Structure 1
Amino acid sequence: MGIGKWIAGAAAAGTAAEYGFAGCFFHRTMVRTNAVRQRTRDMSGTDWGRYISEIQERKEWVKRQPHKDVFIESEDHLLLHATYFPGSCSDRAVICFHSYASEGLTDFSSLARFYLEMGYRLLVVDERAHGRSEGIYFGFGCLDRRDAVLWIREMIRRMGRDCRLVLHGISMGGATALMTAGLDLPPQVKAVISDCAFTSAWEVFSSVLHKQYHMPAFPVIQIADRMTRKSAGYGLDECNAREEVKMAGVPVLFIHGEADAFAPCSMAYELYAACRSPKELLVIPGAGHAEAYYKDAERYERAVRAFLRRGNLA
């Protein structure tokens, strides 16, 4: 075999390997039936075992509170699910958006108790392709922000036009809340709380490839992006919270764990710098991904209460 043919063959084999890995990466991260929550937990920098009993106790408490299932239809005809807690029937409510490969009541059991005891109503959403909501592909905020607008309208319908709404998201849900804040929202939306959000799916996946797989993002992310556009209908950098938050018209509280190994804490500083509405930033030392509340619940709750009080929402 001539050197030219050998080089061409090696290049073809390399390209095939890259496409094969990108395809595997796409199916493992973007398709509902293949995503495993434990993989994200392993990358998070958080020892969740130490919090299991606390989380379970709070989840059981929340389940005992009056609640009902709520369903709406997305713009692309998916049946979406959320759990509604009427609470003390005040004019204030929090709409909650969970993290990747999780579901609403799993991520928000502790914070649900915090908000309910403060007198808020709650809508705990299962984002598309999660929990009891339909869907094949994860939306990574890009698709979910459109769903979020429908949930906002649903809460206004239930509570009346004088209601005051807060969006609170964790991880992918935090990115969803930030991207939603960049849309033209009803005046009933008064504030956003973003906990450990990532800047974009493109950038968080690039970080994962570098830190967890010890390989460069190029060309895997580019190939996975084309696959996502073809199958899910959006691009990995199209869902960019850093760009969307520039258009936010409501106050934003950014919360992040300083030791986050999945969505690096540097992303919180980027998001905070990009935001042009009134903003605050809380970084919890030593906290991994989505661990901020459990690492220092007192400081977390104090910051949230103060933020809501300044917005006349507490």
Structure 2
Amino acid sequence: MKKKIIKWVIGILIVLLVVDGGATLYFYNVAAIRSSAAVKQVSKKSPNHALVVQFDQLKKTKKTLTTDGLKLDAWYVAADQPTHKTVVIVHGFRQDKSAMRQYGELFHQLGYNVLMPDNRGAGASQGKFISYGYYDKTDVIAWTKQLTKEDPTSDITLFGLSMGAATVMMASGQKSLPSSVSSIIEDCGYSGVWDEITYQAKASYHIPAFPLVYSVSLENKIRQGWFFQEAKSTTALAKDHLPILLIHGSADTYVPTKMVYENYKAVKSGTPKSLLIVKGAAHAKSFETNPKLYRTTVSAFMNHYNPLH
């Protein structure tokens, strides 16, 4: 009888391991493997669609960069009036640079040069995996170094949306970030990869963190070399000395609004910081929900920390 019980227990454990293994591979593919699916764009009904149309008419220069063995691609749009001031715009999860055209046009209208990269694993850039900012932060730093090499008087602001926002926050705490970067704007970025994925597992799939998210994190360690717990915006912000504007929608249920308060609180003591909560805005919809407030807030921040004159 005892032997039978042991066999049953072992059998159940094997079944559970097989199920967890299959689920791990499925969810890892959902979370971290490059996709060829079409990128969602700004709706023609959006109040900001005109910005996309205007941006499409601008002259774009292709720029490339090779880092970590991957060739990365970007658009560069020079300001109408020559300037050393540039904004690097970083897109979100399962997006590419084309999804950021409304922001590109916003900063172009404000008078800045604009660099819009495709993250690794997205758009015209190489790469199989999505790294949630862990490797993207070093890619962004490489882009800023290239801009600075091309123009040693560059004054750069990093802007990111969602995963891109987490990327620029993670970059803010890196010693390798060149002094030419003078400020950060993040819009709806998560406090950490582990925090976001465990939240999504529960909110979207009703799955607790244990054991599946731990298994997916282990799979990521095997394939990409890092655990989800290692990529935290809050840890980087604790080292950030650059002025930062944090933006979030009050109705964000994808990256919950509470995370912006965690990020805001984490910013290194003494570092200038501003917070904008856009009432009624869902995830990554703050600009489209209240274009006037968004533009005014971003413009004021830029005029203070990266002024054109």
Q: TM tier, shorter chain?
A: over 0.9
Q: Is the 8 A contact 2:182 2:306 kept in 1?
A: no
Aligned equivalent of 1:168, options 159, 164, 169: 159
Deviation at 1:35, TM superposition (A): 7.0
Q: Distance in 2 between matches of 1:134 and 1:235?
A: 22
Look up the match of 2:259: 267
| Other-structure match for 1:190 | 182
String of CA shifts for 1:191-222, please: whole Å, max 9, x gaps. 00000001122111101110110120111111
Is contact 1:87–1:122 with CA below 8 Å preserved after alignment?
yes
Distance in 1, Cα, partners of 2:266 & 2:87: 24
1:15 partnered with 2:36: no
Compared CA separation, residues 157 and 273, structure 1 to 2 (3 A): same
Give the secondary-structure state (helix, strand or coil) at the position aligned to 1:100: coil
Q: Deviations over 1:38-89 (max 9, x none)?
A: 7xx9xxxxxx75x655554322321211211100101x21000000001222
Cα deviation per residue 1:104-127 (whole Å; 9 max; x = unaligned)? 121x21121111111100001101
Quote the offset at 1:285 in angstroms. 1.3
Q: For residues 242-272 of structure 1, give each alpha carbon's deviation from its aligned partner in whole angstroms, at most 9, with x where no partner exists.
A: 1011111200100011111111111100000
Q: Which letter does structure 2 place at the counterpart of 1:235?
A: F
Among candidates 213, 216, 225, match of residue 224 of structure 1? 216
Q: CA RMSD in A?
A: 1.9
Give the match for residue 101 of structure 1: 94
Q: Is 1:287 matched up with 2:281?
A: yes
Partner of residue 25, structure 1: 27
Give the alignment of 1:199-210 within 5 angstroms: 199-210=191-202
Query: Which one of 272, 278, 285 corresponds to residue 272 of structure 2?
Result: 278
Q: Identify which range, 13-22 or 259-268, moves more after superposition.
A: 13-22
Given residue 172 of structure 1, which amino acid in structure 2 is its aligned partner?
M
Partners of 1:55 and 1:109 within 8 A in 2: no
Query: Counterpart of 2:63 in structure 1: which amino acid?
Result: V
* 8 Å CA contact 1:27, 1:34 repeated in 2: no
Q: How far, CA to CA, are the matches of 2:208 and 2:131 in structure 1? A: 24
Shift of 1:171: 0.4
CA–CA distance in structure 1, aligned partners of residues 125 and 306 of structure 2 = 33
CA shift digits 1:252-298 (9 cap, x unpaired): 10001111111111110000000012111111111111001001111
Structure 1 vs Structure 2: percent identity of aligned residues? 26
Q: Which 5+ residue runs of structure 2 have no aligned equivalent?
A: none
2:251 and 2:9 map into 1 onto residues whose CA distance is 44
1:142 maps to 2:134: yes
Deviation digits for residues 161-203 of structure 1, max 9, x if unmatched?
A: 2221000000000000001100122221110000000112211
For structure 1, the residue ranges without an aligned partner over 5 or more in a row are: 42-47
Q: Contact 1:71 / 1:79 at 8 angstroms: preserved in 2?
A: yes
Q: Does 1:181 align with 2:175?
A: no
Residues 73-112 of structure 1: pairs in structure 2 closer than 5 A: 73-74=66-67, 76-88=68-80, 89-106=82-99, 108-112=100-104
Q: TM-score, normalised by structure 2?
A: 0.92
